[in-house]
Chains A and B, each alone.
Chain A
Amino acid sequence: MSKVEPFQAHHFDDVEQQHEASWLGMWVFLATEVMFFGGMFAGYFVYRHWYLQAFAAASNQLDVLLGGINTAVLICSSFTMALAVHSAETNKRKALIIFLVLTIVLGTVFLGIKFFEYHSKFEEHLVPGSAFAFPGPFERQAEIFFSFYFAMTGMHAVHMIIGIGLLTTLVLKAKRGRFSAAYHTPVELTGLYWHFVDIVWIFLFPLLYLLGRHL
């Protein structure tokens, strides 16, 4: 049996087994997340097929520039997250903290732009409900598009907020020197979560923002 490290929990044989359990557990959780978002994507595909014209017209009300900038911001944040994990793997505590903070900043920029977009949708009466108004013959169908838009980007934003919370605790722990090349599982798993949230947006951006551009 290998040497018992201080970070090894007593119910694991060794640190490798402990790491594998955490790693695979996170992947199981992410599979449930794929299902969670998958239900909304499936619903979106059905209504998009039925109400294609209305969906295209409604999609054109979204700001491609802001959506594109936000896509780039999220990709940058995934890059800084990957570099944070790399810093932990190579025992660079200062770099780890810097990259974690950068990831938090980029995530906050994303949410700020999202807030700005939501705000203008409220002003333009594009939020589903009694105040919803959409010119043209397909007002109710367009309302369904915006229901999907707010449900999907809203759940995505909730995941971002949770991710920023997780990253904040990582920064505090990293400052106390809790992570090393030998043990940085929380950094690694939060990275998986953050990249997953990035992947959700990678699909949301073309499906919501780019759908009707050529019409």
Chain B
Amino acid sequence: MKSEPHVSIRTYALVFLALLVLTGLTTAIAFLDLGGNINTMFALAIAVCKALLVILYFMHVRYSDKLTWVFAAAGFFWLLILIGGTMDDVLTRPQLSPSTASVPAQDYPR
């Protein structure tokens, strides 16, 4: 059984501060116009960084054995397949079948 704590309070505090700073940063960047896709990329990249900080330090994965790494990564790996496979279809429809390329320009009726 573990006899001493996984992570020091100092490390927790630094991670906590980093998370707050990144929250401020992602909010500030959202108000800049960098072009839609670049804004989205920044937002997702910062969210992934924050999630990694939480997983590695708050959830102790950094200090855990390889089996925990595999278990933790598995969920996100399948998530990548789920979202990647879905968007792979949605984003490439215009090239493969031009008739489906036009996204509804107007609203649809109730």
- Inter-chain CA distance A50–B75, complex, in Å, is 27
- Inter-chain CA distance A140–B87, complex, in Å, is 22
- Inter-chain CA distance A89–B9, complex, in Å, is 12
Q: Which residue of A lies closest to B2 (CB)?
A: A89
- Inter-chain CA distance A177–B110, complex, in Å, is 59
**What is the distance, in angstroms, from A42's C-beta to the closest C-beta of chain B?**
5
**What is the distance, in angstroms, from A107's C-beta to the closest C-beta of chain B?**
15
Please report whether the interface of chain B is mostly helix, strand, loop or mixed according to DSSP.
Answer: helix
Using CB atoms and an 8 Å cutoff, list the residues of chain A in contact with chain B.
15-16, 19, 23-24, 27-28, 30-35, 38-39, 41-42, 45-46, 49-52, 54, 64, 68, 71-72, 75-76, 78-79, 81-83, 86, 89-90, 137-141, 181-183, 191-192, 195-196, 198-199, 202-203, 205-207, 210-211, 213-215
- Inter-chain CA distance A15–B79, complex, in Å, is 33
**What is the distance, in angstroms, from B49's C-beta to the closest C-beta of chain A?**
10
Q: Say yes or no: A198-B54 contact (C-beta < 8 A), given A42-B86, A45-B86, A79-B12.
A: yes
Q: Establish whether residues A138 and B107, one from each chain, have CB atoms under 8 Å apart when the complex forms.
A: yes
Q: Establish whether residues A24 and B82, one from each chain, have CB atoms under 8 Å apart when the complex forms.
A: no
Q: Which residue of A lies closest to B83 (CB)?
A: A42
In B11-37, the 8 Å CB interface with A consists of: 12-13, 16, 19-20, 23, 26-27, 30-34, 36
- Inter-chain CA distance A202–B90, complex, in Å, is 25
